[in-house]
């Protein structure tokens, strides 16, 4: 992975550093976070996640097809084969939402409606995340989609793993067990990340000049997803603030 480390990674380090410095992500992992805020964040995040997760299989399939159109047959075929592993993951986020809402309603107020939460319109950040994928795949450097997957996978295996452990400590194993989408991605994205790194390395052996283009797509996706997580936390804090209850 020499080319990846030399040509690609320098351009994503700033975005990755936000996993340690972003104020919202830091608050989520604070030992002093109110359990209700953390639990409400999980519900907000997973109820909105289907909008970002349902297109993933299609994005990967389109990327594979675009790569084959551009003469990268072996890479394209590998991407098409990988797409199968992403099928139906948005259903996990929906199931987790229902499970978490049921758990919340049995113990906390105000009561929540899972179907209403899942029907919320997307935020501007969510729209920007989907738009980025579509633009990269349709553009001249569709391998940028593989870089996006690589960086979102990095988020899952680093921040996602820390978040899952934090949920176990703050909310207990009963709540953590309902996070099947998060748990699966923490586990399987290690392998997916290796595959995406291998594909990027192979692409760079043929076209090293495009390393920065790929990295910038991945970095933009990571920053946008971090912003999305922050939006979910801010919403949760606002909904549970004492001033809001008084109003």
Predicted confidence (pLDDT) per residue in 12-25, tens digit: 999 999 999 999 99
204 pLDDT exceeds 80?
yes
> What average pLDDT does this structure show over 234-247?
73
Asked, as a colleague might, if the bond just before 110 is cis with ω within 30 of 0, I would say yes
197 pLDDT exceeds 50?
yes
245 pLDDT exceeds 50?
no
pLDDT at 242: 63
> What average pLDDT does this structure show over 44-53?
97
38 pLDDT exceeds 70?
yes
Enumerate the H helices of the chain as residue ranges: 2-3, 13-21, 23-28, 35-53, 56-69, 73-83, 89-105, 114-118, 124-138, 144-155, 161-171, 173-176, 180-206, 211-239, 242-246
Predicted confidence (pLDDT) per residue in 74-132, tens digit: 999 999 998 877 777 899 999 999 999 999 999 999 999 999 999 999 999 999 999 99
Contact in structure between 157 and 190 (CB atoms under 8 Å)? yes
pLDDT at 192: 86
Closest to 1 (Cα-Cα) out of 232, 238, 201: 201
50 pLDDT exceeds 70?
yes
> What average pLDDT does this structure show over 6-16?
98
| Pairwise CA distance, residues 236 & 182, whole Å | 19
CATH number of 2-241: 1.20.910.10
pLDDT at 246: 38
| Domain range list for the chain | 2-241
Quick one: tokens of 96?
């987790």
> What average pLDDT does this structure show over 19-40?
97
pLDDT at 190: 83
């Amino acid at each position: 992975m020499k080319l990846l480390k030399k040509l690609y990674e320098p351009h994503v380090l700033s975005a990755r550093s936000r996993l340690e410095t972003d104020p919202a992500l830091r608050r989520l992992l604070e030992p002093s976070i109110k359990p209700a805020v953390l639990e409400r964040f999980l519900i907000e995040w997973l109820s909105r996640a289907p909008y970002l997760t349902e297109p993933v299989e299609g994005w990967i399939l389109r990327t594979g097809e675009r790569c084959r159109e551009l003469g990268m047959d072996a890479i394209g075929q590998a991407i098409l084969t990988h797409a199968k592993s992403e099928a139906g993951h948005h259903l996990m986020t929906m199931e987790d939402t229902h499970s978490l809402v049921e758990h919340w309603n049995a113990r906390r107020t105000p009561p929540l409606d899972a179907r209403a939460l899942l029907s919320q319109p997307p935020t501007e950040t969510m729209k920007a995340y989907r738009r980025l994928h579509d633009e990269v795949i349709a553009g001249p450097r569709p391998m940028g989609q593989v870089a996006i997957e690589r960086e979102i996978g990095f988020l899952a295996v680093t921040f996602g793993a820390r978040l899952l452990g934090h949920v176990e400590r703050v909310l207990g194993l009963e709540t953590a067990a309902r996070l099947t989408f998060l748990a699966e991605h923490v586990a399987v994205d290690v392998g997916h990340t290796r595959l995406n790194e291998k594909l990027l390395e192979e692409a760079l052996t043929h076209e090293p000049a495009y390393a920065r283009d790929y990295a910038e797509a991945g970095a933009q996706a990571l920053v946008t997803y971090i912003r999305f997580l922050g939006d979910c936390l801010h919403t949760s804090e606002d909904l549970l603030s004492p001033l809001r209850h008084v109003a």
